Amino acid sequence: MAAEIHSRPQTARPVLLNKIEGHSDAVNAAVLIPKEDGVITVSEDRTIRVWLKRDSGQYWPSIYHTVSSPCSCMSYHHDSRRIFIGQDNGAVVEFLISEDFNKMNHVKTYPAHQNRVSGMVFSLESEWVVSTGHDKSVSWMCTQSGSMLGRHYFTSWASCLQYDHETQHAFIGDYSGQITLLKLEKQTYSTITTLKGHEGSIGTLWWDPVQRLLFSGASDHSIIMWDIGGRKGRTLLLQGHHERVQALRYLQFTRQLLSCSADGGIAVWNMDTQREEAPQWLDSDSCQKCEQPFFWNIKQMWDTKTLGLRQHHCRKCGKAVCGKCSSKRSTFPIMGFEFPVRVCDACFDTIKEEDRTPLATFHEGKHNIAHMDMDPSRGLMVTCGSDRIVKIWDMTQVVGSSLATGFSPR
C-alpha cells in the first residue's frame, strides 16, 4: 500500500498490487500489455522481458531476450504486436511478438543515432519510427525499407519525444529546457515553433491529440501545460513535486493529469477546473511596493544613502518585491502552486481560505520512478526505475470511476 507525501487527510490512494523483481540493473521502461495480465520491460542490463501473470498471482518472464547494448526506451504497438527498442549504442531494434507472448522474432535493426536513444514513437499510419538521441538529433526512418527519411540536429541532447500521428508533428524536449515543434515529411521537415518556459532539462512529454494539449515535466520540478490547440500561447504552471518530473499521463475521460518524479512522488492533478496562468515576473530596479532600491541600483542607493536589497517576486502578481514586502507564504492551487510560495503582503491579504483548497493529491510510490505507463480502461499503472523494481498499481480509487468507459490507449 502506498503512503502519502503530505499530511492532508486523504482516503483514496494508489494500491500496490504486484512487485516485479529480477532485473540486475535499472529498468528504463515498462508498459502494460492491453487486455492481458502482462508487462513488457527493457533494462540497462540489456534484456527485454515479457512478464505474464501466472495462476499463483506472480509475474514470470515468458520472454527473456538479451541484446548487444543496454536498452534505453521502447515503443510497443499492441494491435500489430510490434515492439521497437532503443539502445545505448544508438540503434533501434524491431521485434515481432507472437500471439501467445511466448516468442519474439527479430525484424530489423535501424541505425538511428550515434549515441544513446532517449525517446521513440512508432507510427503505424505512416510506417515511421521517430526517435531522439543523445547525439542531439531527432530522426525518422521508414519501417518498410529501413531507410533514413530525415534528421534534425539541436544544440543540446534531445531527451524526450511525443508525436501527433494524424498531422505528423513531433514535439522534442531537450536538455536546455526547450521544446521544439517540427512538422515531419518524407526527406524534409519544417520548424514550427520553440516553446520556452522551463528552467531545467525536459524529462518527459505527453501529447493529448483530442484537446491538443502538450504537457511537459522537467528537472526544475515543475510541469507546464501548453494549450497548442488554442493558438493563443496559453500555459498553465503546476508545482507540487520536490524532485525532477520524469513521467506524465493525461487521462481524457476524467480530465486528470498523472505525474511521477524521481523521488517516488505520484501526483494526480484535477484539470477539470478553472485554472489561472501564473504571471510573468516583472523587471524593476527597485521594490515595486516600498520603492527601496535593489542591490544593483547604485544610483538610487547613492542618492538615498541606503543599502540595496535582494530582489524577489510575488508568485501571484509577478511584481518585483523586497523580502520585507513579501514575508508571507501561501499555497495558491488555482495558479498551480500546491505548496506554500512567496507572495507579497498585499496579495496575501486577498487570498481566501477557499482559494487554498488543493486541486491535486500527492502519494508516495516508495521507489525511484523513471518511467510510468497507464491503462485507463482497467485503472492500472506500472512504474519502474533505477532500483530495478517494477510496481503495478490499482489507481481506481485515485483517478475516479470514469475509467470504466472502455477507453483503450492508442
Where exactly are the structural domains of the chain? 13-277+358-397, 296-353
d(CA 22, CA 107): 27
Phi, psi of 279 (to 5 degrees): -70, 155
> What pLDDT does residue 1 have?
30
Listed in sequence order, the residues at least 6 apart from 138 whose beta carbon sits closer than 8 Å to its beta carbon are 130, 131, 132, 151, 152, 154, 158, 161, 170, 172, 182
Nearest to 344 by CA among 373, 367, 365, 323: 323
For the record, the C-alpha cell of 358 comes out as 488543493
| Contact present, 51 and 38 (Cβ < 8 Å) | yes
> What pLDDT does residue 254 have?
92
d(CA 278, CA 290): 23
> What pLDDT does residue 91 have?
97
Length of the chain: 410
Residue type, 315: R
User: Residue 384: beta bridge partners?
Assistant: 371, 390
| Contact present, 2 and 362 (Cβ < 8 Å) | no
Considering the domain 13-277+358-397 in this protein, what is its CATH number?
2.130.10.10
Nearest to 94 by CA among 59, 159, 155, 142: 142
Residue type, 295: F
410 residues of the chain, pLDDT tens digit each: 333 334 444 568 999 999 999 999 999 999 999 999 999 999 999 999 999 999 999 999 999 999 999 999 999 999 999 999 999 999 999 999 999 999 999 999 999 999 999 999 999 999 999 999 999 999 999 999 999 999 999 999 999 999 999 999 999 999 999 999 999 998 899 999 999 999 999 999 999 999 999 999 999 999 999 999 877 778 999 999 999 999 999 999 899 999 999 999 999 999 999 899 999 899 898 898 898 888 777 877 788 877 877 889 999 999 999 999 999 999 999 999 999 999 999 999 999 999 999 999 999 999 999 999 999 999 999 999 999 999 999 999 888 644 443 333 33
Q: What DSSP element (H or E) covers 302?
A: helix 298-304
Listed in sequence order, the residues at least 6 apart from 144 whose beta carbon sits closer than 8 Å to its beta carbon are 127
> What pLDDT does residue 400 have?
67
Pairing of strands 265-270, 360-364: antiparallel
Q: Domain 296-353 falls in which CATH fold?
A: Herpes Virus-1 (3.30.40)
For the record, the C-alpha cell of 132 comes out as 531522439
d(CA 385, CA 379): 21
> What pLDDT does residue 233 have?
79
